[in-house]
Amino acid sequence: MTDDPQGPVEQEGKAQLRPRAKRGPVLPNGLTAKQEAFAVAVANGSTLSDAYRRHYNIGKDTLDESIWNSAHNLYIKPEVQARVKEILDQRAVDTRHDPARIAAWSKDLLAKIAADPNTTDSARIKAIEVLDRLAGLFTDKQELSITDNKEAESIRLELEAKLKALLQPPKLVG
């Protein structure tokens, strides 16, 4: 064994092996920054190998099989799998209640119903009507017309009398 500025070097035959580097700082979720980045990339749809290549130091001459093995070994760690699942679960919760996503889904479904010749005519017409309303082509208009020329004071007295009648205890018969 010899001393080296980077630590002791073990000699096995002609090959020199350095002890593995210590893990980097650990995040609150128990992963290193590289492991976290790997988990996020996998949750975003990257293959294990692509995520590993992107976030770990890979030599240009490293075999694809070695990369795959390293990526697989990293992914099967329970804490990494748990983080990927956590990201995917959170994303599912976030998108389930996203109004823009729900509106887009509804419009797509209505458009399919309106275009489907196997759908009943009444359903197709209703789907088109709803799509038109969503596009702002129709608006509901309500008009209020007063046919009685009562003044505010008489309306107030009438309402007070009705409220008084409602608030009185019911009369017992018998």
Same domain membership, residue 64 and residue 80: yes
How many domains is the chain partitioned into structurally?
Answer: 2
Q: Is 8 within a domain?
A: no
Predicted local distance difference test score (pLDDT) of residue 96: 67
**Final residue in a domain of this structure, among 95, 118, 147:** 95
Is the pLDDT at 8 greater than 90? The verdict is: no
Same domain membership, residue 88 and residue 32: yes
Same domain membership, residue 87 and residue 30: yes
Beta bridge partners of 11: 16
Q: Is 52 within a domain?
A: yes
Predicted local distance difference test score (pLDDT) of residue 22: 59
Same domain membership, residue 85 and residue 31: yes
Same domain membership, residue 65 and residue 123: no
Same domain membership, residue 91 and residue 29: yes
Predicted local distance difference test score (pLDDT) of residue 119: 85
Same domain membership, residue 82 and residue 62: yes
Same domain membership, residue 87 and residue 76: yes
Q: Is 157 within a domain?
A: no
- Render pLDDT for 45-99 as a digit per residue (tens, 0 to 9): 999 999 999 999 998 899 999 999 999 999 999 999 999 999 988 887 766 677 7
Is the pLDDT at 15 greater than 50? The verdict is: no
Alpha helices by DSSP H, listed for 4-150, are 33-43, 48-55, 64-75, 78-96, 99-115, 121-134
How far is residue 11's CA from residue 78's CA, in Å, rounded to a whole number?
34
- Render pLDDT for 129-167 as a digit per residue (tens, 0 to 9): 888 888 888 777 777 766 667 788 888 888 899 888 888
Residue 114 in tokens: 């309106």
Determine phi and psi for 146, rounding to 5 degrees.
-100, 120
Answer yes or no: are the C-beta atoms of 50 and 63 closer than 8 Å: no
Same domain membership, residue 35 and residue 46: yes
Q: Is 47 within a domain?
A: yes
Structural domain containing residue 110 = 98-134
